[in-house]
């Protein structure tokens, strides 16, 4: 009698299930990315320079030239401006998130992660959490610079912290858009360009730098329903930076900016996290 034996290779590691394990895997990946950032400090430093330049330039170049609620003083515009600068800073981190993931893809690191028994979404979640930590550091430095140039808040500490929380939530939501872009292109350079090209119209067709009531009608409607505008408006209210007599548009997101900001951010996270994880699975098979 002849015995036929079949030899099979080692089975590919299967990801461990469970929410707790997924959280642990995500934190491990986040730690890896934070250590990487610390070893390349110039990335963090250059990330701080741009928003600081925006604060100084906008404050002293446009301050006094734009009327905010009938007030043309530099101090009024400075307080009006800062929520927009904060929001622009957290959303522009999208390009960095996309470039980092594209770089990992280009070097084959993502394929190595796939060979490990870890949750499939942990790689992207860990990356976005690390980017959130870096963004938080940038916002802290930016707030200090804003205080130096004359920005002030006029509400309680809890409301101010809530305003920053909404800004960081928006930044985290947009980092998932960056993750999807990073998985969809071939090089980090393309991810950087793709991560910025759509952000400029999004941030400038908004209430971030000028009141939307002076825009043409069709642009005004876009600005009022822009998720970026909702977060800026919410931050201004929570910081107490809306001057007396400032005309609040009738659009629902402008009348209820806190609720609109949370809603937009949660929807963006749910939609783009789903798309990014799906793309991650198919792009690296």
Residue 143 clears pLDDT 70, i.e. is over it: yes
- The range of the structural domain enclosing residue 100 comes to 19-283
Examine residue 86 and state whether it is found in any structural domain, yes or no.
yes
pTM recorded for the entire structure: 0.85
Examine residue 93 and state whether it is found in any structural domain, yes or no.
yes
Percentage with pLDDT > 90 across the chain: 32
Alpha carbons 198 and 218: distance in angstroms, whole number: 18
Alpha carbons 268 and 119: distance in angstroms, whole number: 22
What does 80-105 look like in DSSP terms, one character per residue?
Answer: HHHHHHHHHHHHHHHHHHHHHHHHHH
Alpha carbons 134 and 93: distance in angstroms, whole number: 9
| Per-residue model confidence (pLDDT) at position 9 | 41
Under a CB-based contact definition with an 8 Å cutoff, are residues 134 and 93 in contact? Answer: yes
Examine residue 10 and state whether it is found in any structural domain, yes or no.
no
Examine residue 262 and state whether it is found in any structural domain, yes or no.
yes
| Per-residue model confidence (pLDDT) at position 65 | 65
- The mean pLDDT value for 57-76 works out to 70
Examine residue 151 and state whether it is found in any structural domain, yes or no.
yes
Examine residue 7 and state whether it is found in any structural domain, yes or no.
no
Examine residue 245 and state whether it is found in any structural domain, yes or no.
yes
The SS3 call for residue 68 is: strand
Residue 251 structure tokens: 């659009």
Q: Mean pLDDT over all residues of the chain?
A: 83
Say which residue the tokens 């034996």 belong to: 5
| Per-residue model confidence (pLDDT) at position 227 | 94
Under a CB-based contact definition with an 8 Å cutoff, are residues 206 and 226 in contact? Answer: yes
Examine residue 14 and state whether it is found in any structural domain, yes or no.
no
Q: What are phi and psi of 279, to 5 degrees?
A: -65, -40
- DSSP letter assigned to residue 58: I
- The mean pLDDT value for 64-91 works out to 79
Residue 108 clears pLDDT 70, i.e. is over it: yes
| Per-residue model confidence (pLDDT) at position 7 | 43
C-beta neighbour count of 19 within 10 angstroms: 8
The SS3 call for residue 115 is: coil
When divided into structural domains, the chain yields a total of 1
Lowest mean pLDDT, pick from 8-17, 87-96, 152-161, 245-254: 8-17
């Amino acid at each position: 009698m002849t015995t036929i034996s079949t030899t099979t290779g080692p089975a590919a590691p299967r990801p461990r299930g469970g929410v707790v394990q997924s959280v642990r895997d995500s934190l491990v990946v986040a730690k890896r990315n934070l250590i990487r950032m610390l070893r390349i400090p110039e990335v963090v430093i250059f990330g701080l320079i741009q928003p600081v330049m925006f604060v100084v330039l906008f404050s002293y170049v446009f301050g006094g030239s734009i009327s905010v609620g009938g007030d043309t003083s530099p101090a009024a515009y400075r307080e009006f401006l800062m929520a927009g600068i904060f929001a622009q800073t957290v959303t522009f981190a999208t390009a960095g998130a996309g470039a980092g993931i594209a770089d990992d893809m280009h070097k084959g690191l993502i394929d190595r992660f796939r060979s490990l028994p870890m949750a499939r979404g942990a790689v992207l979640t860990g990356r976005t959490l690390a980017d959130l930590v870096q963004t938080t550091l940038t916002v802290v430095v930016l707030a200090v610079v804003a205080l130096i140039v004359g920005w002030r808040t006029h509400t309680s500490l809890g409301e101010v912290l809530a305003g920053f929380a909404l800004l960081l939530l928006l930044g985290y939501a947009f980092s998932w858009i960056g993750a999807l872009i990073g998985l969809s292109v071939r090089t980090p350079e393309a991810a950087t360009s793709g991560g910025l090209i759509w952000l400029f119209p999004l941030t400038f067709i908004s209430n971030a730098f000028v009141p939307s009531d002076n825009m043409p009608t069709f642009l005004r409607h876009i600005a009022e329903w822009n998720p970026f505008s909702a977060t800026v408006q919410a931050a201004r209210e929570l910081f107490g930076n809306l001057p007396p007599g400032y005309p609040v548009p009738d659009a629902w997101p402008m009348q209820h900016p806190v609720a609109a900001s949370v809603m937009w951010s949660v929807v963006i996270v749910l939609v783009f996290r789903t798309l990014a994880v799906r793309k991650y699975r198919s792009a690296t098979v």
